[in-house]
């Protein structure tokens, strides 16, 4: 069976995106082992994830401009390789400062993933399947977040933290090779000459455009709300509302499962009903907010009855 170009692109890009998210959350399960090996505090341990995520966040925008100018494929291959090798090298660290340095290097490699992926999907995927491709991209990242902690915890228990890091880092090498060997099908987004439209758009003009600011605000508020639910839902339901810990944990699992499945639904809708995408997005956002408020009201009512 010959896979279509769009399917192959989604598979290649999705695997890299899965790894980038998997690597971020495969570090926390190792904290206790690192504390025993290096004698560091929890604050220092948390710095590993902060350095990796912070470096990624800071570099994504400048990397995006470089991708627009120089192309995405070389950055995707190089960044993914750096990310994988940095994780593998952590398994050979002899001091904690080496862990911190390698976490930073991994964050540098991770910073190319989103700019490169979005550029390649925009230029390589059939226009009528664009929504589904972006949905699958997000879905693969969510799977990486979900798989990271349990997989790494299991590996650390069975083979130790050093061998575990070496293994998960080297697992990324076949992904890099697949992207490299199949790079001919990975095309960047079509570039439009702004001078033909009578104006030359600078990077600052693009970032401060109405469209970009609206997207920034939407994702900022969405991320704040999602992070708040993920971080505090179990605590609020258990400690404040008196709900059983298992049920509270199941509520968070349900929230994450619904969010992940909803991404796929949104991708399908975006392809099937392009004229109504904005209204659909606004409606779902309002419904989500109302449902959270309904849960809060119901919990307050149950608390008062007790």
64, 163: one domain: yes
Higher-confidence residue of 127 and 47: namely 47
- Report pLDDT digits (tens) over 32-57: 899 999 999 988 998 998 999 899 99
Question: CA-to-CA distance for 287 and 299, rounded, in angstroms?
Answer: 18
- pLDDT, position 304: 61
Radius of gyration of the chain, Cα coordinates, nearest whole angstrom: 21
Q: Which of 298, 273, 16, 54 is nearest to 141 (CA)?
A: 16
Which range marks the domain in which residue 66 is found?
A: 5-190
pLDDT of residue 303: 61
Residue 201 covered by a domain: no
Measured between alpha carbons, how far is 32 from 258 in angstroms, rounded to an integer? Answer: 31
- Residue 244 above 90 pLDDT? no
Give SS3 for 171.
helix
| Secondary structure, 3-state, 55-117 | HHHHHHHHHHHHHHHHCCHHHHHHHHHHHHHHHHHHCCCCCHHHHHHHHHHHHHHHCCHHHHH
Query: Based on the domain organization, do 100 and 235 belong to the same domain?
Result: no
Q: Establish if 131 belongs to a structural domain.
A: yes
| Residue 203 counted as domain residue | no
Same domain membership, residue 134 and residue 78:
yes
**Alpha carbon distance 113, 94 (integer Å):** 29
Whether pLDDT at 298 is above 80: no
In a domain, 272, yes or no: yes
- If asked whether residues 141 and 241 sit together in one domain, one would say no
Same domain (yes/no): 47, 179: yes
Query: Does 178 fall in a domain?
Result: yes
Split into its structural domains, the chain has a count of 2
Residue 129 has pLDDT above 80, yes or no: yes
Do 115 and 226 fall into the same domain? no
Does residue 134 belong to any structural domain of this protein?
yes
Same domain, 164 and 25: yes
Q: Which of 101-110, 189-198, 214-223 has the highest mean pLDDT?
A: 101-110
**Domain assignment of residue 64, yes or no:** yes
Whether residue 171 lies inside any domain: the answer is yes
**Residue 198 banded pLDDT, cuts 50, 70, 90:** very low
Q: How many residues does the chain have?
A: 306
Residue in the block written with tokens 């593998």 = 88
* 177 and 214 both lie in a single domain: no
Q: 114 to each of 30, 56, 120, 274, how far by Cα in Å?
A: 26, 10, 10, 23
Q: How far is CA 184 from CA 112, 179, 181, 299, in A?
A: 19, 9, 8, 55
Whether residue 296 is found in the same domain as residue 167: no
160 and 16 share one domain: yes
Four-residue CA torsion sign, 98, 101, 102, 103: positive
Tell me: do 57 and 117 sit in the same domain. yes
Tell me, yes or no, whether 111 and 43 share the same domain: yes
Exposure string of 23-44, with b = 16+ CB inside 10 Å and e = fewer, is bbbbbbbbbeebeebbebeeeb
Which range, of 14-18, 94-98, 239-243, averages the lowest pLDDT? 239-243
Last residue of a domain, one of 156, 190, 224: 190
pTM to 2 decimal places = 0.81
Rounded to whole angstroms, the Cα distance separating 215 from 89 reads 37
Q: Are 87 and 165 in contact (CB under 8 A)?
A: yes
More confident call, 23 vs 238:
23
């Amino acid at each position: 069976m010959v896979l279509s170009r769009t399917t192959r692109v989604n598979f290649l890009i999705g695997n890299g995106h899965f790894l980038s998210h998997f690597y971020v959350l495969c570090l926390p399960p190792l904290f206790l082992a690192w504390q025993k090996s290096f004698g560091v505090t929890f604050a220092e341990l948390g710095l590993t994830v902060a350095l990796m995520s912070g470096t990624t966040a800071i570099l994504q925008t400048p990397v995006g401009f470089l991708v627009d100018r120089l192309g995405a494929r070389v950055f995707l291959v190089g960044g993914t390789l750096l990310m994988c090798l940095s994780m593998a090298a952590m398994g050979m660290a002899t001091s904690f400062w080496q862990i911190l340095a390698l976490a930073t290097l991994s964050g540098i490699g991770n910073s190319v993933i989103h700019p490169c992926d979005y550029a390649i999907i925009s230029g390589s995927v059939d226009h009528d399947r664009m929504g589904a491709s972006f949905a699958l991209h997000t879905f693969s990242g969510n799977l990486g977040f979900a798989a990271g902690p349990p997989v790494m915890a299991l590996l650390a228990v069975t083979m130790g933290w050093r061998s575990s890091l070496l293994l998960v880092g080297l697992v990324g090498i076949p992904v890099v090779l697949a992207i490299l060997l199949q790079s001919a099908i990975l095309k960047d987004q079509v570039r439009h000459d702004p001078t033909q439209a009578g104006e030359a758009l600078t990077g600052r003009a693009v970032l401060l455009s109405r469209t970009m600011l609206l997207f920034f605000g939407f994702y900022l508020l969405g991320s704040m709300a999602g992070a708040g639910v993920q971080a505090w839902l179990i605590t609020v339901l258990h400690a404040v509302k008196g709900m059983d810990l298992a049920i509270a944990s199941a509520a968070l699992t349900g929230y994450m499962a619904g969010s992940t499945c909803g991404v796929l639904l949104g991708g399908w809708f975006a392809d099937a009903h392009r004229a109504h995408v904005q209204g659909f997005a606004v409606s779902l956002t309002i419904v989500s907010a109302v449902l959270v408020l309904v849960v809060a009201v119901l919990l307050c009512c149950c608390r008062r009855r007790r």
